[in-house]
Amino acid sequence: MEPATSTVTVAVDAVDPITRSGVPAVLAGNQNIRLLPESAKAAADVLVFVRGVVTDETLAEIRDARDRATAPDGQRIVLVADQFRRTDLMIAIEHGVLAILPRREAVASRLIPVIVHAKQGVADLPPQLQGQLLSQLDRLRREVLEPNGLTLSGLAAREQEVMRLVADGLGTADIAEQLKYSERTVKNILYGMMNRLNLSNRAHAVAYAIRVKAI
């Protein structure tokens, strides 16, 4: 594991007393981890959510934890579970789950890197769930987004076209000429995108498009 640049605050949410004490014991003493009590879990950078079986109630609890989170950069959730339904994967991700780990793998050498990487925004999913996620994303793209002119990046297809040309340094008139739009249409596309995503200017919009891999 590469050294972390900053300490990660971590809290554990578990229903049984053995797990509530056992998981913190696994994490204790690591220089990259600062444990918070369960009462302060809303402020944790990473919440380790431990359950035997993930049910609809579990997913609701994860959603509620996300909604109560006060971590400055947003809270990441690492889910440790024995049983997880593949069909719940998209819901879990929407609720803030960034990593899923079987309980048998929740040892220090595995769990600590997952937590540190989660704080950095790096996902960690079992291989079989990665395939499920790709299948669900492909179905979402084909059945929901594309029929409505949208993409997985959150940008409409024509917003992507315009942003590619903005990134190439073209002005409004040149973009309009290339795409066979009026200049008013180009301006409306840019304004609509920047207003919706709270982007301050074209440079900010280009940076956003690059970050979400839209261009």
Q: What is the pLDDT of residue 132?
A: 62
pLDDT above 70 coverage of the chain, percent: 85
Contact 65, 52 (CB under 8 A): no
- 6, amino acid identity: S
Name residues whose C-beta falls within 8 Å of residue 211's C-beta, 6 or more positions apart in sequence: none
Residues of the chain with pLDDT under 70: 1-5, 127-154
Q: What is the pLDDT of residue 40?
A: 92
Q: Which CATH number is 146-211's, of 2.40.50.140, 3.20.20.140, 3.20.20.20, 1.10.10.10? A: 1.10.10.10
Give 131-186 pLDDT, tens digit per residue: 665 566 566 556 655 665 655 566 777 888 899 899 988 999 999 999 999 999 99
Q: Can you give the residue ranges of every domain in the chain?
A: 8-126, 146-211
How would you label 121-155 residue by residue, b for 16+ Cβ within 10 Å and e otherwise? eeebbeeeeeebbeeeeeeeeeeebeeeebbebeb
How would you label 182-211 residue by residue, b for 16+ Cβ within 10 Å and e otherwise? eeebbeebbeebbeeeebeeeeebbebbee
Q: What is the pLDDT of residue 140?
A: 54
Q: What is the pTM of this model?
A: 0.60
